[in-house]
Every structure is written in C-alpha cells, then in structure tokens.
Structure 1
C-alpha cells in the first residue's frame, strides 16, 4: 500500500471522528448483535466483524462484469475492484480482505450480519433503508440499447441509426424518459413491463429495447439468444438507479465506508474503474 493511501485511510478515520463529535446518533452507543471487534493497526478506530480483517460479502454466484470468473478475491470486475479500493481507503491491505457469499434477499433483510459490507448491485431505496444501511452511491446506472444479432438494429452505431427503427421500453420507467428524449416519441413503443418488452424483442415486434445497463448485461448473457448491447444512451435528467454498499442497520462502519466511497468519487477512482470494467472492457460506448 502506498504512503498516500495510508494517509488517506487515516483521513477517513479522522473525518468519521469529527462527525461523531458534531452529531452523534442514538446508535453510537449500541453494539451490533454480530459482535464486531476492533480491527488491527491498519485502521485502529474502525470496528469490524473480525479483528484486523475487513469481511466483504457478494453474491453466489457473482457475475461478469461485476466480478470476473466468480472470483472476487482476484479484484477483477467492477464491483470486485470497487471493494478493494474501498478497503484500501479504509486502511486495509488486500491480504486483510475476507470474502464471503450471501443470497441477495437475505442481505437486505433486517437483522445481524456476519460481514462488514455487501456489494452486489443493491439499489438504494427508502424501503430498504428501514432494514439496512447504505453507503453513498458508487455507481449510477445508465440506459443501454439492447437487440439481437438478427435484428435490423444489430448494425446500429449511433443515435441516428436508431431513429428509423422501433425501440421498446416499459411504461413509467427511466428507460422510457431517456429513450423519448434521445430518439423521439414516434419511434418508442411502450409496454407494461420489462418482461413484455423482452418478449416483443424475441418475437421480432420491435427492433431493440432500452433498459438499464446491468439488466442489459443479464439479458444478453442469460436470457436472449444472440443478444447484443449496441451502446449506452447519453444521461437523461432523470438519472438512474444508484447502487450503494450495504451494511447492517446502524453499523458502526457506515460513516467510514461512506467517507471512503465519497473520497473515491472525488478523486476519480470510481469513474476510472467504471470506464475500465463496464465501458471499455465490455465495449459499451455512449451513442452519439
């Protein structure tokens, strides 16, 4: 670990201490039922599940491009790389990171956790905040154009290439707002659900569909025969779902993990990792 990273990890601890002095919450004096312990010399002010270690959970299995080859310990894939960047920001060396696996639904359920934070594309919602804590966002989804190899849209390389085609979206979604803003309402066909949109694409009723990029990865790899992601649409004013690191409710680590994510956002680390693992590695250009 570089000296600069060590100092930045210490800065996170100082920032959290300052936050505690200015406005402690009622949870500050509570001990989580998972019985976390104080970590080792790398981050002496942080309480972790296992002393001297940072325990990070992800899905079983974990899919590309979030985690390559279902091996988060490699640090390869967007979320694996983000997890290690946060660990370093907190003052933990790579060898002090321990990976565990959890189902998605059990992770968002209330109750004690046997890990420090969990990363597997958890959208930050108010309903979930009643049961768990979230860090600030490490990724905001963009909207992608998905088609199949035999479609008229398969050769599209720009927004202009799509304007004479029929693109499907689900009603009331960010996908609808973005598609109309970029392609025009005349070329957008609206369906009740995303499942209906996918069925229309499979049946050849539409030439392509617009959906958030993570869902596009899943549909391409696990659902569609010959699926192809053409590219991302430029951001709309509506934005997209925000993904956060998930922690136990009132976790003593929430403030420190949030400060680490904020630092990685501010210094451009998260943007660089997104470009490396989601855009360049997957060849998903932003359509112009």
Structure 2
C-alpha cells in the first residue's frame, strides 16, 4: 500500500513539474528524472544507501525498500519530489563509516542519521536538514546511573556512545565524566555494552533513546535529554562532494519541509519526546 502511494506521489510530482515548466517550442520533449535528466549513477535510477542493519524508528524491519520508518519514508519522498517513481529507487548497503569517508561514493544519496558538521562538509556534500534532534541518556533499572537526575549525577558513572557521532561529543562535553566515554562501532554495540554492564549509561539521539527504552531494552530507563548547548543533531542527506545532484536534492528537502511532509513523517514515525526532561 505504501509503495503504491509513493508511486502515485511520484507521478503527481512529475506531472506538476511538467505543467509548471516554460514551453520551448523549439525543444524536444521535456526531460524527466527517469530519462536521465538528473546525473545519477545509473540513468533513470536513484541509488540510496543506508546501513545494514538499519534500526527502527529510522527503518522498520531492516528493510528500507518498504518505505517504512522515518528515514526510509524521507528517502522515497525526496525521490518523488525529484521525479523518481518508487520502483526506480534502488537501495545499497553502506556502513556509517563508509558513508562519511572521503572519496567517490557507491550511491547518489545516503540516509543514516548523519549529522551535518563543518568537518564532514570538507569531504562531503549535504542536503539541507531533514531532521533536527537532541541527545538523550539511557540506562537500565538497577544501574548505578538509574537515579541520576542531573549532569553532575552522571559524572561518576561509566558512559558509552557510538564512535564518530554527535552523541559521543555531547557525552564528553556536557557530562564530562571522570572516566573517559567508551566508544563503540555502532548502536548495537552501544546497547550490548549497556546490557552487559560494560557501561552504566549510554548517549544516543532522542528518537533512538525513546525506541530502545520502549521496545528493545528490558528495564530501559530514559533519564532525559542533554541541554541544547551540548550539541543536537541536524541530519542531512549525504552526497559525494561536488555532486551535481546536491542543489536538486536540497531543493527537494526544502519543498518537503515547506509543504509539511517532513513534519507529517516525523509525527508518523518518531515518538513524541514527552517524559524526557532536560538534564542540567
């Protein structure tokens, strides 16, 4: 049902673009995404990357091609805005590190909760933001961190976060724990470190925190959000540096923000942040 709906959206978008374009009677038929007008890796196909496994609420069931989950749905909405039908979107696997590494890419765009930063922008192109969030602290019932209500309470416990992320930087800067923050390769390892007792609490983005405490951690406790000054995440679609697609992809994201599509997708797929106080 979702695929059919997205296909219909793509068709409507393509017709709208065609209707609004100025007429040049000397030119041939108007070009569209599917006849190679956009400079994608494969003519008429938009290649989108995300990690494997991909986690909820970003991708449901580790299957981005279903369009289920916030980032999967955003990718298809962007594709439709660019004029691609859902069946013309191809997914490839790429780890977080592969997505942010310098060099030529095996994808046109990537979605994987990649924070926009000046350092990364030296080697990558980003679209305008499709989501902004804060960082949050998660622990388990009975953990030494379970009764923490302030940043000072967390300073003496062991903290974990994913390497190379805003979560790790925020944990270091905002909490400033007496023991160095432990870095792990992905959020699966972060959760395993928490459940095995290697760390007492972990820092992840707020939607992930809400999901894992509700659905994945036995006795999971969401202690609260880190202050905005600690550095929230602003997620952008990743493209190869200097990609000719970047202006069109940014325009697509901007259009989806302005028409309310991004807000609607947030409401559909990302849990409300109520019950997550800001830790001071």
Interval of TM-score (by shorter of Structure 1 and Structure 2)? 0.5 to 0.7
Q: Which moved more, 1:75-84 or 1:114-123?
A: 114-123
Q: CA separation in 1, counterparts of 2:168 and 2:59? A: 31
Per the alignment, residue 285 of structure 1 pairs with: 274
Establish whether residue 194 from structure 1 lines up as the match of residue 198 from structure 2.
no
Q: CA separation in 2, counterparts of 1:104 and 1:189? A: 25
Unmatched 5+ residue regions in structure 1? 15-37, 179-187
1:148-163 correspondence to structure 2 within 5 Å: 148-150=140-142, 162=149
1:60-139 correspondence to structure 2 within 5 Å: 60-139=52-131
Q: CA separation in 2, counterparts of 1:220 and 1:69? A: 18
Instruction: Say how many residue pairs are matched.
Output: 242
8 Å Cα contact 1:146/1:209 also seen in 2: yes
Q: Which moved more, 1:244-253 or 1:58-67?
A: 58-67
Unmatched 5+ residue regions in structure 2? 1-7, 23-31, 160-166, 184-189
Q: Which moved more, 1:1-10 or 1:78-87?
A: 1-10
8 Å Cα contact 1:232/1:285 also seen in 2: no
Establish whether residue 5 from structure 1 lines up as the match of residue 18 from structure 2.
no
**Taking structure 1 as reference, are residues 153 and 249 closer, same or farther at Cα in structure 2, changes over 3 Å only?**
closer
Tell me the CA shift for residue 240 of structure 1: 0.7
What is the TM-score when the length of structure 2 is the normalising length?
A: 0.67
Establish whether residue 258 from structure 1 lines up as the match of residue 247 from structure 2.
no
Tell me the CA shift for residue 249 of structure 1: 1.3
**Taking structure 1 as reference, are residues 230 and 108 closer, same or farther at Cα in structure 2, changes over 3 Å only?**
closer
Per the alignment, residue 235 of structure 2 pairs with: 243
Per the alignment, residue 268 of structure 2 pairs with: 276
Tell me the CA shift for residue 265 of structure 1: 1.7
Q: CA separation in 1, counterparts of 2:40 and 2:231? A: 34
What is the TM-score when the length of structure 1 is the normalising length?
A: 0.65
Per the alignment, residue 40 of structure 1 pairs with: 34
**C-alpha RMSD of the superposition:** 4.3
Partner of 2:128, secondary structure, is strand
1:204-219 correspondence to structure 2 within 5 Å: 211-213=204-206, 216=209
Q: CA separation in 1, counterparts of 2:18 and 2:74? A: 19
Tell me the CA shift for residue 162 of structure 1: 4.2
Q: CA separation in 1, counterparts of 2:116 and 2:262? A: 17
Once the two structures are superposed, what CA deviation does each residue of 1:216-236 show, in whole Å capped at 9, x if it has no partner? Answer: 479769xx9635253754973
Q: Which moved more, 1:260-269 or 1:234-243?
A: 234-243
Q: CA separation in 2, counterparts of 1:205 and 1:69? A: 27
